[in-house]
Amino acid sequence: MSNPNNITDSSELSIGIELGSTRIKTVAIDSQFNTLATGSFEWENNYINGYWTYSVNDIWVGLQQSYQDMTNKLKEKFNITVRKVNSLGVSAMMHGYLAFNEQEDLLVPFRTWRNGNTVEAAKILRTTFNYNIPERWSIAHLYQAVIDKEVHVNQVNYITTLAGYIHWYLTGEKVLGIGDASGMFPVDVERQMYRADLLEETDILLNAEGFNKSVIDLLPKIKVAGDNAGHLTNEGARLLDPDGNLESGCVMCPPEGDAGTGMVATNAITPCSGNISAGTSAFAMIVLEQSLRNVYPEVDIVATPSSSEVAMIHTNNCTSEINAWMNLFSQVLETMGVSFSSDDLYGQILKASEKSDDDLGGLLSYGYVSGENITQVEVGYPLFIREPNHQFTLGNFMKTQLFSAFSTLKIGMDLLKENENIAIHKLIAHGGIFKTERIAQEVLSAAMDAPITVMNQASEGGAWGISVLARFATTDKDITLAQYLDEFVFANVDEMTIEPAAQTVNNFDAYIEKTTKGLPIERQLSHYLEGEEDARKIKTRSI
């Protein structure tokens, strides 16, 4: 790889780290936003004692190994040792629950966005606020713990998200970007603060349950894109780089959620723009011209990193089932003694979907590794159904898996489009599934019945997005984030737009009709196949 700017040291680098649900990724960019090196660490959540979680040890080991992988590649490509850097930013999965006591000890294992144990709390908050509070949000986790009289709640002194936690340990600052903060508690995008009226309502609800601390005292302070959110401390530098090469002192931007960094990575932060992120989970983010008229349990209201209101359709499941099948295909090929790369495996098998029939061979799939709020599936079981007397081919199978990955997102988006007067001028998609050119993009275009654009940074995703936000935090220009992205970051970007194909749109609509009819099967599985997650939920319902 050539050195695009003849970089001789690390002082001009901006580094972005994103802790996703299956991978921790580190990206180093130069002053022209070119990606010079990336590092990664694969990890998985675990279901322990009734909760989806990641261990604190895995968080820090994964962070260090991802960072080290990036620095090793930078050394190999450019003979650069990372010491002093321009800026640094941390992003991670939104929502969830990390609660600490006065001694700054973690009170319970990290409860991720995937946990659906907060149904009761979310419903009460939603009704009281007349504002959608999803089960994933931090305030729902806190309130549910209070309702359940969990032993730890009386010790809670601070709650934050995963990105907020990492940033706190690297800088000593208890802050959070407004995008990530909007997944903890409702925010006022005009005033760039938590909604005071709803804070008061929450305190009343909590006090009634015997919890006497004020919520505002537990939450991180809000920052917006461009703010200086602290500096990397000596302790933080050693946490990130135990080898001791990284110097302290660099500016750190506000920590953000993966939804916000996805918006930045796709230049979708202005009204009527939107982006779709596809990974273990999926979400569509539509920046609003005006607030929605109604409250929908299927639609989150969050914020861009620069504090504009966003309608968010979030699905707990997207590509996990495709990854599971690819792993199976990989084992088959390895058994046969065939060597291949991961890119070749995904590329060739996904391309087989181009030879599918309009009716997908009578196949139906629910890739529900976990439950789904939008389709009222409480507990997820991946389910594959095959009608007899149809063409059971690899092409039909893979097209079905792709349709399934985006089906719940389509159901949510259709609800929003049918009930609200929203305008979307451009939808940009990103995520690893788009590495294989055109295949997933064409399916998503049919699902949304709208043009879908993919940029050349699509597979870099949020780690690149947070590195851009880190760079923006050090700019001296009097400029908005939108201007910065348009005039500098995306001025010469390569992108490809695909229009929806009429026949594929019709095929997807037919598939959604079939999916909807079959949902009672998926919903009933937990009554007959009582797994570990089912057992906890059934026990909770009986209390």
On the question of pLDDT at 54 being above 60, the answer is yes
Structural domains of the chain ordered from first start: 95-160+185-218 (3.30.420.40), 267-317+412-498 (3.30.420.40), 319-403+501-537 (no CATH)
* pLDDT over 50 (residue 535): no
| pLDDT for res 542 | 30
> Under 8 Å CB-to-CB from 338, ≥6 apart: which residues?
none
| Residue 331 parent element (H or E) | helix 320-335
416-475 residue pLDDT tens: 989 998 888 889 998 889 989 999 999 999 999 999 999 875 456 789 999 999 999 999
- Model confidence at 279, in pLDDT bands (50, 70, 90)? confident
Dihedral sign, Cα of residue 94, residue 97, residue 101, residue 105: negative
Which pLDDT score is estimated for 541?
34
Cα–Cα distance for residue pair 78/57, rounded to 1 Å: 31
Q: Give the angle 141-144-149 at the CA atoms, nearest 5°.
A: 125
525 touches 371 (CB < 8 A): no
280-298: average pLDDT: 91
Q: Does residue 540 carry a pLDDT above 50? A: no
Confidence check: pLDDT of 298 > 90? no
Local confidence band at 116 (pLDDT 50, 70, 90 cut-offs): confident
For the record, the structure tokens of 102 come out as 């006065």
pLDDT for 281 equals 87
Cα(77)–Cα(167) distance, integer angstroms: 29
Confidence of residue 37 (pLDDT cuts 50, 70, 90): very high
Short-list 403, 409, 321, 320, CA closest to 362: 403
Return the pLDDT at 5. Answer: 57
Residue 539, pLDDT above cutoff 50: no
pLDDT at 87: 98
Q: What is the mean pLDDT of residues 506-524?
A: 97
pLDDT in tens, 166-201: 999 999 999 999 999 999 999 999 999 999 999 999
| pTM, entire model | 0.83
pLDDT, position 543: 27
Q: Residue 376 region, left (φ>0) first, then alpha (ψ -120 to 50), else beta?
A: left
Does residue 136 register a pLDDT over 70? yes
From the list 490, 511, 532, the residue with the least C-alpha distance to 51 is 532
